[in-house]
């Protein structure tokens, strides 16, 4: 399975083509829209979310609410584009008409300057329009399709926020508690007291014209053991997940299970002892986050990821005008003071794609029933191993 996204932040629409989904799986636009709605929420979001009401149109690969096995095309219209017709129009412009909203002062921490150098753009809007996190709406749409597939296989995936700007939820919750309470508030934090601390931290950053980052967690339950491979570096599933997560805008670190805490622990406290009962093999702990040797071991997958503060600041940092080479403050674009709650949704859907892709690579899967049957046989084999 693979997908390709296209579209600019203030362009007419985002388009996604997904290839490789099995046939005979129920899929409707409402299923995808529910996930897109979650991405738009969260405390600290900016005015863009009041304009864009993301909804998807399925234009191929589905007939009467059921997948055909052919490429699926998803389209998300940018409602804000009508305000940007003279800035982001596709047709050639009159040579006498000046280009509007040209950007020549790159923002530190964004793709502006390096992207302009690489693709030889003198107007850095040509860079920021595509490098914008607006593209993550398309990735969530893909992940929503993948989540529906995973649900048909009995696999659950969900996420939460662990930390925003130093306000951290250090509680050790059972997985079912996280699953049942991750959407209880607007920062997606399980502990309501910590949630208020997070809001206060966001408000302080906003009042200072600053931005703030944090840490999110994604959990995947009921994944069959044996996905991924130990035989070569590029077949390790935790490596594929790490690449996918880090490719999300502003994500700068990723770990699994106990993650960074492992550097403080002896090996006896890190490895997960093995047990066996009538249900098959299991681990007595899950410090490794569901992975051994680059392969799933049947325990829940635990992915932790860190998002840096958004680089667009309302009190901009020092920059240089690429035309005059004079020192200036960086350009200001409409932005969020904190997007960590929304980023947890994006991360969840990026993980969903990688898990779904690995399953489709591992098992014969032209048709959903065929895939379900193959996974059932695989689990029976593991139990008797």
pLDDT computed for residue 55 by the predictor: 94
Tell me: is residue 293 an annotated ligand-binding position.
yes
Tell me: is residue 279 an annotated ligand-binding position.
no
- For residue range 256-311, list pLDDT tens digits in order: 999 999 999 999 999 999 999 998 999 999 999 999 999 999 999 999 999 999 88
Tell me: is residue 20 an annotated ligand-binding position.
no
Is pLDDT above 90 for 332? no
Query: pLDDT confidence of 65, banded at 50, 70, 90?
Result: very high
In angstroms, the Cα distances linking 379 to 36, 220, 382 are 33, 17, 5
Tell me: is residue 310 an annotated ligand-binding position.
yes
Is pLDDT above 70 for 52? no
Tell me: is residue 39 an annotated ligand-binding position.
yes
CATH class of 2-384: alpha beta
Tell me: is residue 98 an annotated ligand-binding position.
no
Question: Any idea where the domains of the chain sit in the sequence?
Answer: 2-384
Task: Provide the mean pLDDT of the chain.
Answer: 94
Tell me: is residue 331 an annotated ligand-binding position.
no
Tell me: is residue 120 an annotated ligand-binding position.
no
Q: Can you give the pTM of this predicted structure?
A: 0.94
Tell me: is residue 131 an annotated ligand-binding position.
yes
Rg (CA), the chain: 22
Tell me: is residue 178 an annotated ligand-binding position.
no
Is pLDDT above 90 for 345? yes
Tell me: is residue 174 an annotated ligand-binding position.
no
Tell me: is residue 283 an annotated ligand-binding position.
no
């Amino acid at each position: 399975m693979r997908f390709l996204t296209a579209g600019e932040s203030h362009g007419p629409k985002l388009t996604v083509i997904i290839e490789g989904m099995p046939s005979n799986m129920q899929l409707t636009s409402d299923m995808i829209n529910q996930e897109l709605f979650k991405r738009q929420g969260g405390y600290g979001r900016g005015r863009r979310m009041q304009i864009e009401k993301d909804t998807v149109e399925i234009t191929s690969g589905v007939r009467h609410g059921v997948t055909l096995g052919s490429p699926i095309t998803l389209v998300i219209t940018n409602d804000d584009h009508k305000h940007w017709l003279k800035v982001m129009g596709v047709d050639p412009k009159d040579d006498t008409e000046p280009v509007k909203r040209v950007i020549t002062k790159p923002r530190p921490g964004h793709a502006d300057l390096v992207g302009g150098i690489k693709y030889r753009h003198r107007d850095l809007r040509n860079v920021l329009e595509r490098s914008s996190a607006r593209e993550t709406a398309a990735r969530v749409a893909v992940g929503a399709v993948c989540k529906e597939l995973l649900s048909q296989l009995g696999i659950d995936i969900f996420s939460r926020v662990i930390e925003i700007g130093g306000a951290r939820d250090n509680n050790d919750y059972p997985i079912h508690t996280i699953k049942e309470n991750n959407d209880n508030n607007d920062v997606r934090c399980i502990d309501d007291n910590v949630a208020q601390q997070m809001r206060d931290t966001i408000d302080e950053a906003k009042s200072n014209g600053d931005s703030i980052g944090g840490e999110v967690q994604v959990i995947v339950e009921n994944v069959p053991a044996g996905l991924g491979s130990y035989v070569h570096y590029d077949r390790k599933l935790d490596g594929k997940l790490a690449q996918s997560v880090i490719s999300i805008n502003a994500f700068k670190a990723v770990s699994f299970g106990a993650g960074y805490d492992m550097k403080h622990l002896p090996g006896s406290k890190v490895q997960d002892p093995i047990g066996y009962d009538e249900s098959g093999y299991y681990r007595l702990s899950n410090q490794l986050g569901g992975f051994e040797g680059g392969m799933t071991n049947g325990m829940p997958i635990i992915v932790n990821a860190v998002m840096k503060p958004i680089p667009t600041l309302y009190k901009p940092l020092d920059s240089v005008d690429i035309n005059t080479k004079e020192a200036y403050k960086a350009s200001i674009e409409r932005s969020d003071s904190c997007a960590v709650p929304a980023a947890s949704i994006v991360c969840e859907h990026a993980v969903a794609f990688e898990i779904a892709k690995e399953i489709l690579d591992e098992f014969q899967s032209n048709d959903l029933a065929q895939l379900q049957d193959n996974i059932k046989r695989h689990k029976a084999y593991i139990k008797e191993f």
